Structure 1
Amino acid sequence: MAVDFTATYKMLVLGDSNVGKTCIVNRFCDEKFYDTYISTIGIDFKQKIINLDGMPVKLQIWDTAGQERFRTLTTAYYRGAMGIIVMYDVTNMDSFNHLSYWFRNIEENASPDLVKVLVGNKCDVTHLRQIERERGEKLADSFNIPFFECSCKQNINVQETFLALARLVRQERERRASKLDELERQQWEKGQLNTLEQNTTGNYRCSC
């Protein structure tokens, strides 16, 4: 019997070219790591059904191109996105310095309710590391978002990254639903009050 999935979370993976965006998607969705590097052209996506604390959730994960000439293609795909993994390569200082561009791009194109996670990839390549963990943590703290260092090759913190982002998406959805319920309650109470005032006014006029 088919399962009726009530929740589909659209997620984006952003960052410079060659930081490991495709690798983290493949590792998470297919549980595979490919040594050969093929640059993403435009955008691609995969889907995976996860068990999020006992509830089935479908993750739709969009893998975006990092090259400058394709960046204009990615802006349209912010529509409907609920969560973003912003990724850099701990062995590439330029990819870390360019994070300001990606966060600015998110701010300009994405919904203000969208949640984010910062990820430093290739933490297993210790001899080539250029960005210490503390710098990543400090940047994440400045945006008040979670931070992970991961390794797609060694499968370190890949599952944890996506699960953390999925939980943030769920929390934001619940917050928005609660806010909507409160607004509906206030509107209902206001409507009841208006009705009561109209009835009271009407009865007063009748008594005259």
Structure 2
Amino acid sequence: MATEKKFSDDIDEIPDSSSCTKPGKYKIVIIGDGGTGKSSYVSRLQSEGFRHEYIATMGVEKTEIVVDTSHGECIISLWDTAGQEKLGPLRDAYYEGADAAIIFCDVTSRVTYKNVPLWHKDVMRVSEGIPIVLCANKIDVKERKVKSKGITYPLKFNMGFFEISVKNRLCLKEPLEYLLQQLTKELDLKIVASLDAAVFGDVSNICI
């Protein structure tokens, strides 16, 4: 079921695509093993509460959001895909037309990081050459199994990488900023500060 969320109360309608640098609307697929925090991330981007219980996504859930940036408003269509292997054959249709992808792994589960190459290859089969960012989630958990120095895969494939905590709202904006910078070719693009505290958490938190 598609939902729509706007990040600013003074936005009355979805802007024309010309308001953002070439163009203003992007499809971003969110992939990774089940339970890594993909759906919770989307909820956080909509200023919703944190999901403490795990509810598996069936198929795909689409959410359209409007993001204010230093280069204008951008429309992002987030496709939150299922992480269950039995639903794998359906994913090709979700990948088609994707402009970028976010891969999630869980630093408390080694297998979710080991599966990152599989997810990367899976999406590249259908949408070759799109910008991709890896989000290593749950850095708020002390008993992490995957250490920062052990996460080397993104370096081998020119992939963006951020360690985040969806629960504590740490580094939630940086993955989107990175992808928008790649898509618009505007490397100085930033998500505007006025929205950070309400949507992305405390901007004083340092992202790794």
TM-score, normalised with respect to structure 1? 0.77
The residue identity in structure 2 corresponding to 1:35 is H
How many angstroms does 1:31 deviate by? 4.1
Distance between the aligned counterparts of 1:151 and 1:37, measured in 2? 16
Distance between the aligned counterparts of 2:148 and 2:48, measured in 1? 25
Distance between the aligned counterparts of 1:146 and 1:4, measured in 2? 28
Distance between the aligned counterparts of 1:4 and 1:102, measured in 2? 33
In the alignment, is the contact (CA less than 8 A) between 1:90 and 1:132 conserved in 2? yes
Within-5 A mapping of 1:19-168: 19-110=36-127, 112-126=128-142, 128-136=143-151, 138-168=152-182
Distance between the aligned counterparts of 2:98 and 2:184, measured in 1? 13
Show the counterpart of 1:4: 16
Distance between the aligned counterparts of 1:10 and 1:134, measured in 2? 31
In the alignment, is the contact (CA less than 8 A) between 1:123 and 1:151 conserved in 2? yes
Bigger helix share: 1
The alignment partner of 2:53 has SS state of: coil
How many angstroms does 1:26 deviate by? 0.9
Distance between the aligned counterparts of 1:55 and 1:151, measured in 2? 27
In the alignment, is the contact (CA less than 8 A) between 1:29 and 1:47 conserved in 2? no
Out of 146, 169, 191, the position equivalent to 2:183 is 169
How many angstroms does 1:52 deviate by? 2.0
Distance between the aligned counterparts of 1:47 and 1:135, measured in 2? 34
State the number of aligned residues.
169
Give percent identity, aligned residues only. 30
Distance between the aligned counterparts of 1:132 and 1:171, measured in 2? 32
In the alignment, is the contact (CA less than 8 A) between 1:49 and 1:59 conserved in 2? yes
How many angstroms does 1:159 deviate by? 1.4
The alignment partner of 1:30 has SS state of: coil
Distance between the aligned counterparts of 1:16 and 1:48, measured in 2? 23
The alignment partner of 2:46 has SS state of: helix
In the alignment, is the contact (CA less than 8 A) between 1:83 and 1:165 conserved in 2? yes
Q: Any stretches of 5+ residues in structure 1 without a counterpart?
A: 173-208
Structure of larger gyration radius: 1
Distance between the aligned counterparts of 1:156 and 1:165, measured in 2? 17
How many angstroms does 1:29 deviate by? 2.5
Distance between the aligned counterparts of 2:180 and 2:29, measured in 1? 12
Q: 1:147-167 deviations in whole A, cap 9, x for unaligned? A: 101001000011121122122
Q: Any stretches of 5+ residues in structure 2 without a counterpart?
A: 1-11, 19-23, 187-208
Distance between the aligned counterparts of 2:71 and 2:156, measured in 1? 32
Distance between the aligned counterparts of 1:157 and 1:28, measured in 2? 11
How many angstroms does 1:89 deviate by? 0.3
In the alignment, is the contact (CA less than 8 A) between 1:10 and 1:81 conserved in 2? yes
Distance between the aligned counterparts of 1:36 and 1:123, measured in 2? 18
What's the Cα RMSD here? 1.5
The alignment partner of 2:17 has SS state of: coil
Which of structure 1's runs of 4+ aligned residues deviate more than 6 A? Answer: none
